[in-house]
Structure 1
Amino acid sequence: MRRDLIYFRKSVWSLRDGINSLLRDETPLISNEVKVFLRDVYDHVVQVIDSIENQREMVYSLYDMYMSALSNRMNEVMKVLTIIATIFIPLTFIAGIYGMNFNPEASRWNMPELSWPWGYPAVMVLMLILGLLMVVYFKKKRWL
């Protein structure tokens, strides 16, 4: 529609210029009686130009509104993806730490919970609690 309105606007502007030159120029081919009608046509052309400008502004406004709605939708998607990433990043960190091969007998600074019988379930429960706490926090903030 924008392209059509621009094309139509160019056509009507050239028509307005042509009629205006016919009204200004003194030529024996155009009598005063015809000039009255040409003035009427000129007024109609000006009204058409105003209408085209209004239509063009409406099309641009609708396009801007569409782009804003599209941007808002994209922002909502990005917000959800960010929340999901925020929840899983600390869990991935914990899983990465415990995924390393430590030998608790080699050094006292190694993880002693690796040799605990309940070490694996304890880390899983810790990760579950951490994930649930973040979900509760996001719900409380009304981000989720």
Structure 2
Amino acid sequence: MMLNSNGMNEIVKILTIISTIFIPLTFITGLYGMNFQNMPELRYKYGYYIVLSVMAALATFMLSCFKRKKWL
């Protein structure tokens, strides 16, 4: 029963890490999906790519933090 519990804890830990990474990305995506007209970065030529690169950098930073703490 203890081995089963340890396996379940590892699964829950991985699911928590995945959700921790995707929650801020979902927030950013939801914010930009609201069709505001007063967002200045929507008028930039490369605004879409800037937001995508910020999201990728955020996910990479969070993954590196998890690896540094030896959670992955």
Q: What SS does the aligned partner of 1:101 have?
A: coil
Unaligned stretches of 5+ in structure 2?
none
Structure 1 residue 141 corresponds to structure 2 residue 48: no
The structure that has the greater radius of gyration is: 1
- After superposition, where does 1:81-100 map in structure 2 within 5 Å? 81-100=15-34
CA distance in structure 2 between the aligned counterparts of 1:129 and 1:140, rounded to whole angstroms = 16
CA distance in structure 2 between the aligned counterparts of 1:85 and 1:91, rounded to whole angstroms = 10
1:115 is displaced (CA, Å) by 1.0
Structure 1 residue 130 corresponds to structure 2 residue 58: yes
1:114 is displaced (CA, Å) by 0.7
1:73 is displaced (CA, Å) by 0.1
Unaligned stretches of 5+ in structure 1?
1-66, 104-109
One-letter amino acid matched to 1:137: C
Aligned length: 72
1:102 is displaced (CA, Å) by 1.1
Work out which structure has the larger RCO, using CA pairs closer than 8 Å and 6 or more positions apart in sequence. Answer: 2
